[in-house]
Every structure is written in structure tokens, then in C-alpha cells.
Copies of this chain bind each other. A is one copy, B any other.
Amino acid sequence: MNQVPTQDDLLLAHERIKTYVHQTSVMTSGSIDTIAGCQIFFKCENFQKIGAFKARGAMNAVLNLSEEERKKGVATHSSGNHAQALARAARIMGVKAYIVMPRTAPDIKKKGVRAFGGEITECEPTLEARESTLAKVIAETGATEIHPFNNYDVMAGQATAAIELFDETEDLDFLLVPVGGGGLLSGTLLAAKYFSPKTKVIAGEPEGADDTYRSIQSGKIEKSQANSVADGLLTSLGDKTFPLIKEMVNEVITVSDKEIIEAMRLIWERVKIIVEPSCAVPFAAVLKEKEKFSGKRVGIILSGGNVDLERAFKLFESIS
């Protein structure tokens, strides 16, 4: 797709991928609502295939490949969930997946990619190394790049989580999602525009990677400092996601690592589900600005649950 997805594109994406992904449940918790002072509806993408919403976008992108493209495979660089998502989508369609991953990516995510038959090329953990390694892989294989977020097919796929949430939960005053590269946020903004225009979409972002917040201030794409426990949100925006976010997002709320870990712990303890640090950012944003959300109906897309337990335990210890 070479242009911003339309309402029809989003509906088609949902139709196309729904055999291959979970329609995840929406969870509520009395004790969470008491703590937050509002009614929260968690869309549980931590229960999604590969443990994250990224299964949606990757699936939609692979399903949209031409026959010629399928033969040569797909490629991407990703530190985590998109890597697994693309490997899985490719395997389902019988397509090869070439994944460039920083050598520092969590083991659980590398294992996930290999389990789906993805071919990993490791590189140094810098954007430059990732891009040059990927360029080399593509030159050698002729694979089609499926960018983790700066891709309209991926964006349309990610939008389907919000479509389902609007379907199941009426009259949301707010919908919060985390922002890294902006694929989920852009898709969610489009879904809200087309299907629930009264819902205000707010992004949660780590203070140590607050490039979206700064980009909106400055009017141009700013670089992420990439310094946060929320390891899924360290990337900067792309030229396809930034304009949509700039135009439509209601607000970006930034939160500290301590606030993220506290929010993550509350979700583990009260909702009894496992979420990764990046996933806790929007809930941390609600807790930080309680007055804004007081008494409202607030949707939150819980983006993923892929976290090494040992790492989570260390994070909890670090704030206790």
C-alpha cells in the first residue's frame, strides 16, 4: 500500500488477518479502577499470537505480498516482537524471513524468531548497523523489506486491535497506546478517526525516549535518546507515521522508568497478567495524570507480554 490506509483498507485488513490472529479479550479490574479513579478497559494484546500486537501488522503485510515477492522472502530489522511476528507470518504463508537483530536483543525474542524458522543475522545494537546489515541482506536475497512501523500495510494491521476494542467497548472517552516508531499509534489514530471519532487518542512515551513528544513540539522528526527500560519503544518515528501522529494525536504523556515499572507491577499483581515494560507505559500515563481521566471510560491497548521473567524481577527489585 502506497498511501495512508482508508476506512476500507482497515476493514479489509481486519477481514484478511482474522483467521491468523487472536481476537484478544478485553479485561477489567475493580481494584485497578479504584487505584486509577476511572474505568479502564485493557485490550490484551499480550495474549496475541507471538505475545504482542505486532502479529497483526506483519500478518497483513505478508498477506499483501505479490506472488513474485513471496518467492524472494521478506526481511526486516527488529529488536524484538516485530521480528517474531514477521517470522511467524512468513512461515504461515510459506515465505522465507530474514531477520536482522541487534546482538543485545533479549534471548526470549531470538528464540521466538528461530522457532518460526526465521533466519537471524546479528549486528551491533545501533540503528546504523541495523540498517546497513539489512541493506546487505536485501541485496543478497532480493527479499521485500517489511519495516516494523514505517509501512502502511503494517499500520493497517496494527489498527485492527483498536477496531476490535471499539467493537467490544462502546463510548470510550480515551484510548491510550504506547509510542515507539509509531505503527500502533498511527493505526489506532486512523481506527479512531474512522470508527470512534469521539474517542481521544493519547500516546504514552518513556521520558528517556521522548522523541515523539519533542517531534510534535518542533514539527520535525526528532531522534530518540533510546534510554528507557521500555525496550520496545526506543526507536524514532518514521516519515509515514510522523505526519499522521502530528495531525491527529490528542496528547503525548511522558513517564519515567520508575513510573513504568510501578505500573507494570500493578498490572501483574492486580490483573494477574504478564506485560512487558513497554506495555505498561500507557497505564503509567493514566496514573501520572489521574485528574484528566477521572471518572472516564479509558481504553488501553496492552501491547505485549514478552519479557524474560528474570529481567522483570530485577526491574521490580530496582524500585522496591
Contact = CB atoms under 8 A, between A and B. Distances in A.
Interface of A: 25, 27, 30, 46-47, 49, 51, 265, 268-269, 271-275, 305, 309-310, 313, 316
A294 to B, nearest CB: 22
A265 B312 CA distance: 13
Given A273-B274, A313-B313, 8 more contacts: A46-B272, A47-B271, A265-B309, A268-B309, A272-B274, A272-B275, A273-B273, A310-B316
5 contacts: A27-B47, A47-B272, A272-B273, A309-B313, A310-B316
B316 A269 contact: no
A277 to B, nearest CB: 14
Please indicate which of the listed interface residues A51, A265, A272, A309 has the most CB atoms of chain B within 10 Å of its own CB. Answer: A272
A115 to B, nearest CB: 9
Contacts of A47: 27, 271-272
Given A25-B25, A27-B47, A47-B27, A272 B316 contact: no
Nearest to A304: B272
A18 to B, nearest CB: 16
A161 to B, nearest CB: 16
A144 B272 CA distance: 32
Contacts of A310: 316
Please indicate which of the listed interface residues A46, A265, A273, A316 has the most CB atoms of chain B within 10 Å of its own CB. Answer: A273
A271 B47 CA distance: 7
A313 B269 CA distance: 13
Contact of A316 (B30, B46, B51, B309): B309
Contacts of A268: 274, 309
A275 B309 CA distance: 14
Contacts of A305: 272
Please indicate which of the listed interface residues A27, A275, A313, A316 has the most CB atoms of chain B within 10 Å of its own CB. Answer: A313
A206 B309 CA distance: 24
Contact of A51 (B49, B272, B309, B313): B272
A301 to B, nearest CB: 15
A25 B47 CA distance: 13
A51 B29 CA distance: 11
